[in-house]
Amino acid sequence: MSDTALTAGQRAQIEALLLQQQDAVERAMRAQQGGAGRVEFASQLLSDDPDAPREHEGERELQLERADHLADAQRQIGDALLRLRADDYGACSDCGATIPFDRLRAQPVATRCVNCQQRAEAA
């Protein structure tokens, strides 16, 4: 187990936040893609208006970008839930320092402490 100082109550609170986020992402994916997978969704976008592909190219790109963003969010949430359940949650992936509970509550998928995140964003 990492040396994170999360209490059982804090862990439960984080898990509830992650599950809420997971549910919201899944609802957004269903709403956007109508239950189709990413490849099927992309094929549907391309076949919706085969006579005017350039007219709707920007819109299709935005929809695919949104689908990618949602899939990435879903992966991050799933990874965070796995770390939480494996007691590997709350330690910075770069330096190993404990990520403060307030940061985890605000950003439950965080894998870095604030200092390491700032360094990563600056690089």
CATH number at residue 49: 1.20.120.910
Quote the number of domains for the chain: 1
pLDDT at 64: 82
Percent of the chain with pLDDT over 70: 78
pLDDT at 103: 96
What are phi and psi for residue 65, nearest 5 degrees? -60, -45
- Specify if 1 maps to a domain: no
pLDDT at 47: 63
Q: For the segment 13-35, what is each residue's pLDDT rounded down to a tens digit?
A: 999 999 999 999 999 988 887 76
- Specify if 53 maps to a domain: yes
Is the pTM for the entire model greater than 0.85? no
Give the C-alpha separation, 50 to 56, whole Å: 10
CB of 111 closer than 8 Å to CB of 16: no
